[in-house]
Amino acid sequence: MPGNGRYGDLAAFLSERGDALLRTAVLLAPGRESGEDLLQEALERMLRKWPRVQGDPEGYLRRIMYHRAVDGWRQRSRRPEVLGLPQDAAVFTAADHSDRLDLRLVLIEALAGLTPRQRAAVVARHWEQLSEAETAAALGCSVSAVKAATSRGLRTLREAMAPEAEYLPYLTERGNA
Amino acid sequence: MTIFSEGPRDQEPAPGISSIMAQAVADVRLPASLLDQAVTRNRRRAMRNRLIGATSTAAVMAAAAALAFTLPGGATGGGTGTSTAHQGQPAPTVQTAAYVLAHASAAQVNSRTMISVTRDAGGTLYTDVATQQQRYIAGIRASTGQPYFEWSDIIKGGTWTETMVVNQGRVYSVQTARGSEVGSISTVLPLQAQSNPVAAFTTALRQGMVTVAGHQQLGGRDTIALRITRQATQCKKPGHPAIAKANCSDGKPASTQPPPDDEVWIDASTYLVVQTRTYKISPKAVKGSWLSFTTTVNWLPPTPANLATLSITPPSGYTKIPPAEMVKYLGPIS
């Protein structure tokens, strides 16, 4: 549908940058399906203004995702969540990918233990590699708030993931080397 | 062993977490249908808005219903895909498979604050994870009509204490342990006997190991049947503790055939487990055959009276013997 029509430019853009956007959404949401929901909602919001969107659609999408992740998107958790995971199930059957899936599950669970703002700050700083000032602009808060949220978020992540370290080689020093 | 470094002054990027994030999402790919879905939803929203301007409220509701997304799967199907709850509409009340699984997951996690009572052909097991107490009462009877034997375990103050009473022989023993031998008391319910049952259930859900089979009447009770799929390859690479390692021998599956799905029935109202059926390889029967074990489950609130039943006081007149000698009194059932 979008390939050649009104949204052809957007389809082309997503074919190039969609994976990266979804990875950010998966970390922000957090979760694979939640991430798809978040990105889909951001896309839907952008489509409303698509004819007027000028410049960088990626920046526009990312701003929506961060704002929704911090402010309003969590309200959706009151609705029935669909948890079917065909992609994860497929990965699970491939033995050489199971560690990565385990790692993702542990990371997602640990990220879920953060406040939305802490999660967004950690993702912006350590996944997107944004500066503190850029993160503050993306989240609509002060630099000091970003510092505090990042510090607390990292501490919580570290504590949450420690018990899983023995099962996940990626979490050890050796695995990170 | 460190999880990830904090970075100088706590504000510099921590290289460890960046690497973990990169590894964790490396295989995430954008589904080709995501933009299509967003476009469709946007069109429906626009159409809904036009309807609101042109018709009465009643007409809008009817049109919205006609335009509503179809929830993937019913309670009898496997919900897949992304959330389809759409803007401006109340939350659907239809029980999707995912809705059931999410509530079942929450119920099982919450159930750890209650006393589980599991009954199978062998006897009855009372377990309270919160206070680390467990009591087993054998189903087989002594000549006096009492249970042939019973035991209780309790872990308190870092000490594990097991009291075992054999009514048939009028003897009892008390065994204690401290330190690394203590371990912990967990339930025997599916996916709960893990160091982290929350992660175990979440993992099973996300790996598609748990599916909803549908509603079933069980003893006049409305229940929802779940199936938990085990896979024969788990022995070679157990990975996360959520992945079961049953029916393995020397790190290899004991059977070339995958085991039948474990079955779990949950109450349709409370989502608590009411019955399970698991399968284990039959060591004596035809090669590759599986034995089924059915367990019924009840739940008790942790009242002082109920918790008191978890401990055993050896009756007066019974002889205390060393634990090692207990096997003589268990005789044919040891």
Quickly state the pLDDT bin for B312 (edges 50, 70, 90): very high
DSSP string, B196-236: -HHHHHHHHHHTT-EEEEEEEEETTEEEEEEEE---GGGGT
Chain B residues close to A149, C-beta within 8 Å: none
A59 and A123 inside one domain: no
Closest by CA to B276, choosing from B255, B298, B293, is B293
What is the residue-averaged pLDDT of chain A? 72
- Percent over 90 (pLDDT), chain A: 8
A67 and A96 inside one domain: no
What is the residue-averaged pLDDT of chain B? 69
Whether residue A177 lies inside any domain: the answer is no
Instruction: Give the tens place of pLDDT for each residue, B39-52.
Output: 777 776 666 555 44
Whether residue A77 lies inside any domain: the answer is yes
Quickly state the pLDDT bin for A121 (edges 50, 70, 90): very high
Whether residue A118 lies inside any domain: the answer is yes
Q: Is A160 on the interface with B (CB under 8 A)?
A: no
Whether residue A38 lies inside any domain: the answer is yes
A162 and A128 inside one domain: yes
Whether residue A108 lies inside any domain: the answer is yes
A22 and A60 inside one domain: yes
CATH number at residue A128: 1.10.10.10
- Is the pLDDT score of B142 beyond 50? yes
Q: What is the pLDDT of residue B229?
A: 77
Instruction: Give the tens place of pLDDT for each residue, B147-195.
Output: 989 999 898 888 888 899 999 889 999 988 876 666 677 665 655 555 5
Closest by CA to B162, choosing from B146, B181, B184, B177, is B177
The total domain count for chain A is 2
Evaluate the omega torsion of the peptide bond into residue A30 and state whether it is cis, within 30 degrees of 0. yes
Q: Please identify, among A84, A113, A129, the residue that sits at the C-terminal boundary of a domain.
A: A84
Q: Please identify, among A46, A69, A84, the residue that sits at the C-terminal boundary of a domain.
A: A84
- Is the pLDDT score of B299 beyond 80? yes
Chain A residues close to B73, C-beta within 8 Å: 84
* Contact across the interface for A36 and B84, Cβ inside 8 Å: no
A64 and A102 inside one domain: no
The parent domain of residue A142 ranges over 91-169
Instruction: Give the tens place of pLDDT for each residue, B126-141.
Output: 988 888 899 999 888 8
Instruction: Give the tens place of pLDDT for each residue, B247-281.
Output: 455 555 555 566 677 888 888 888 888 898 887 76
A98 and A79 inside one domain: no
Whether residue A10 lies inside any domain: the answer is yes
Partners of B222 in the β-ladder: B217
Query: Between A3 and A58, where is the model more confident?
Result: A58
Q: What is the pLDDT of residue B230?
A: 64
CB atoms < 10 A from the CB of B84, how many? Answer: 20
A66 and A9 inside one domain: yes
A47 and A117 inside one domain: no
A106 and A70 inside one domain: no
Tell me what ipTM this predicted complex has: 0.76
Q: What is the pLDDT of residue A45?
A: 83
Stretch A136-160: mean pLDDT: 87
A59 and A96 inside one domain: no
Q: Please identify, among A56, A84, A112, the residue that sits at the C-terminal boundary of a domain.
A: A84
A2 and A80 inside one domain: yes
Q: What is the pLDDT of residue B197?
A: 56
Instruction: Give the tens place of pLDDT for each residue, B219-248.
Output: 888 888 888 776 543 444 443 333 334 445
A79 and A128 inside one domain: no
- Is the pLDDT score of A95 beyond 70? no
A1, A40, A157: residue with CB nearest B82: A40
Q: Closest Cα of chain A to B136: distance in Å?
A: 31
* Contact across the interface for A158 and B4, Cβ inside 8 Å: yes
